[in-house]
């Protein structure tokens, strides 16, 4: 099955949700002209890491920016995704939502791995489950930024049948080499497509790295951005996932029972 994905590699204004939303509206209208099926915005695109004011930014799934993104998806008949601060029963999460063409919530993922360097664990609660969508185009996993450094998460998705993994991020320029290397590695080792969108511009004294990218199951970059704002669009063939997995049956050759048994040797040279 073919699928057209657009990555909205955007800059944003720190802590200014309304201003950022108005920018998002324009990007959605522009992406519609590209015939996009899925449009992804970066991690915390509305507020950034304005976590000291996270309670003011956070909203429930049935109000505020969540409802407005639902309405945009319906208005433009487009699948929209990105992460926002979510208030759920008084706890605040970094939540990646995905709305369908009809505006209905297809699914949402609460970030499991909180990033200590930005004190996420001080302000936010970690999610406690992974999310695999049984989408019309195939099973799809959701992930957020720091999750990229935890390969076991991506392997769980692949072993459960994921053909596509979506990632939203706010990744700094200083570690952009890690971003590119890890995304390619995750795609190759799990034989999946990965569509990853990152911010550009400057926030909290740091340059954000951009280089939003779609990587295919062979580890080839289908489309990749630079360090400027851009709408990056590519059409992918999810049938390639099955072809790659048939040619090199990595997932079939796994031996999970053996991985639970680790023999240790303690050599004492005395």
Strand-by-strand arrangement of the 79-88 sheet:
105-110, 91-99, 79-88, 38-40, 2-9, 230-237
Cα–Cα separations (whole angstroms), residue 68 to 31, 97, 99, 225, 253: 17, 12, 11, 27, 45
Annotation says 111 is catalytic: yes
Annotation says 173 is catalytic: no
Cα–Cα separations (whole angstroms), residue 55 to 58, 83, 199, 270: 5, 15, 23, 60
Annotation says 145 is catalytic: yes
In the set 145, 163, 199, 224, the catalytic residue is 145
Token digits of residue 79: 């699948």
3-class secondary-structure state, position 140 = strand
In the set 111, 170, 199, 224, the catalytic residue is 111
Task: Indicate which residues carry an active-site annotation.
Answer: 43, 111, 145
């Amino acid at each position: 099955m073919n699928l057209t994905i657009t990555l909205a590699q955007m800059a944003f204004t720190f802590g200014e949700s309304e201003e950022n939303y108005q920018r998002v509206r324009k990007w959605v209208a522009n992406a519609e002209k590209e015939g996009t099926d899925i449009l992804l915005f970066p991690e915390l695109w509305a507020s950034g890491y304005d976590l000291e004011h996270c309670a003011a930014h956070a909203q429930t799934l049935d109000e505020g920016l969540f409802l407005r993104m639902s309405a945009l998806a319906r208005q433009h008949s487009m699948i929209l995704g990105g992460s926002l601060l979510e208030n759920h029963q008084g706890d605040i999460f970094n939540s990646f939502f995905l709305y369908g063409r009809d505006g209905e919530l297809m699914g949402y993922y609460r970030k499991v791995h909180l990033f200590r360097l930005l004190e996420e664990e001080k302000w936010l609660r970690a999610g406690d489950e992974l999310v695999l969508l049984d989408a019309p185009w195939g099973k799809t996993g959701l992930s957020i930024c720091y999750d990229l450094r935890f390969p076991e998460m991506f392997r769980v998705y692949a072993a459960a049948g994921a053909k596509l993994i979506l990632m939203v991020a706010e990744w700094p320029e200083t570690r952009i080499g890690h971003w590119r290397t890890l995304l390619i590695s995750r795609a190759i080792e799990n034989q999946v497509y990965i569509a990853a969108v990152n911010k550009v511009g400057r926030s909290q004294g740091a340059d954000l790295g951009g280089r939003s990218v779609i990587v295919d199951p062979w580890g080839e970059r289908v489309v990749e951005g630079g360090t400027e704002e851009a709408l990056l669009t590519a059409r992918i063939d999810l049938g390639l996932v099955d072809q790659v997995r048939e040619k090199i049956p990595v997932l079939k050759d796994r031996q999970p029972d053996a991985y639970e048994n680790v023999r240790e040797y303690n050599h004492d040279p005395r």
